[in-house]
Structure 1
Amino acid sequence: MTTSVPLHPTHHDGTPLSIQLFTIEGTRYGPYVALPVSSVWTPLSAHLFTRATAQMIVADMHRDDCGLHGAFDAETGTLTFTDDGDTMETVAPDAYGRYLIGGLWDWDEWGDHVPHTAGQAEFARGAAEYRQDDDAASLVEPLDTLYRQGRQEAQLVARERAEHRGVLFDVDPSRTPYVITRRPTNFHFRPLPAGAYESAARIVLARDVRAGDLVVGSFATYPNPGRATPGTSWARLPYLADPRPANTTCTGCANHPHVELSEPENTVWGVERDEWDADEPVLVIPAALLQSNVSA
């Protein structure tokens, strides 16, 4: 049957749960990057997985010839597990495209006790370090790619983490934290494109925005009454970034590098301005966290 769980799993004190790495007990498959839905789990507990990880689980299950089979519905994305033709479990993706999987076999926490390759180890390390600095540059190919894939899977499955109101973010230790507010839902703001989720938004400097990132907001440069930290100014019309050095003629700009993030015709006066100071914080949904192709 289909089971519904909270989009924001937390501990009893409200602290968001962290990702965990699992394998199927008795195998060397995985590591599967999961978001538990409870602070306490057993080998038969169900956890949240991205579509990509769910597909990996199904492929490993078929290779293991365990008798269970899994299939995704091409239209709805629903995952159905069967055993000799009998339906055992049906799992519909949640609002973030994640699947709650468990109860049909025993999970084991993935760790050093599981026989693994160097590639599996770096994938696992990338997932475990998804909130830390990217260390892929220290690795040789193809370990650097596997490390980044692990980071991306962890970011995707834990994407709701940034959605908690009032969480402070530091771009770097020398900067003032920023307050992320919820995006307005009134008629002034066009809904985010399909496959783009508010919870996946990240703060980066304008100089670090990459082609294909979805620009969704900026930050006020003046303090709001009663609030010492800059708050979110959400873009009314989000747009895909196409970064390039700005060809600016403004007085004094020579000492302050600028970048253009979009063609002028794709922008609107105000938050969606075309030209940014290179050190200005930008709120984007990274291209890697967009669930589907988004057009400008």
Structure 2
Amino acid sequence: MNHTHLTVVRAHQVRTGDIVTAFFPAPADEKADCVIVFCNTPVAIVPADTAARFPALVSTPPLPDLFTLDNGEHGPYEALPVPRVRGPYGAISVTRTTAEQIASDLPQPHAGRHLTCHWLNDTPLIASDPRLRTESGRPGWIIRPDADGWYRIGGLWPWQHWSPGEDDPTH
């Protein structure tokens, strides 16, 4: 948004539909919890007719879903949001960075036991121990990125949705 979309008006001139983007209190102005008390306080607004030309705030992309392996022992891994009716073995779409993290964690978890991952340029090959294969001749799964660069990984182990808990120190 460039500066021509903003207008500075006095607080008492703000109308329904205007979006207040900033206010500039004078040292004598009173404010409590970002509520403007004096009607002459200058505020920057995007007028309602200008704001109507932009996408609604509800059109912002959704936050990523978070998944783990082995009941939270590995991960969480960020993925594109998935439908809540999806089964635990359904594919999730991840970035290359996340796919690389999954590949490095893969030999460690119970879910990935007997699996290895090797990268061939931008394509991971997830392979199982040949002595444990149930399908003869199938050396592994090749996961190619889609047109947008997302890797769809699924059908190999169950994913668990993860939400930050109260005991999680990072959230």
Name the SS of the counterpart of 1:53 in structure 2: helix
Distance 1:114 1:29, change over 3 A: farther
TM-score by length of 2: 0.51
CA–CA distance in structure 2, aligned partners of residues 114 and 44 of structure 1? 27
Name the SS of the counterpart of 2:74 in structure 1: coil
Distance 1:114 1:61, change over 3 A: farther
Unaligned runs of 5+ in 2: 1-59, 131-137
Give aligned pairs, total: 104
Percent of residue pairs bearing the same amino acid type: 35
Unaligned runs of 5+ in 1: 1-14, 123-296
1:111 aligns with 163
The answer to which structure has the higher helix fraction is 1
CA–CA distance in structure 2, aligned partners of residues 27 and 53 of structure 1? 16
Q: CA contact under 8 A between 1:17 and 1:37: conserved in structure 2?
A: no
Distance 1:108 1:115, change over 3 A: farther
TM-score by length of 1: 0.31
Is 1:102 aligned with 2:102? Answer: no
Aligned pairs (5 A) from 1:196-215? none
The answer to which structure has the higher strand fraction is 2
Aligned pairs (5 A) from 1:1-296? 19-36=64-81, 38=83, 40-64=85-109, 66-74=113-121, 77-85=122-130, 86-112=138-164, 118=169, 121-122=170-171
* TM-aligned CA deviation for residue 51 of structure 1: 0.3
**Bigger mean CA deviation after superposition, 88-97 or 101-110:** 88-97
CA–CA distance in structure 2, aligned partners of residues 98 and 45 of structure 1? 15
Q: CA contact under 8 A between 1:29 and 1:60: conserved in structure 2?
A: yes
What letter matches 1:46 in structure 2? Answer: A
Greater relative contact order (CA < 8 Å, ≥ 6 in sequence): 2
1:26-55 alpha-carbon deviations (Å, 9 max, x no partner):
342111000145453111110100000001
Name the SS of the counterpart of 1:59 in structure 2: helix
Q: CA contact under 8 A between 2:66 and 2:162: conserved in structure 1?
A: yes
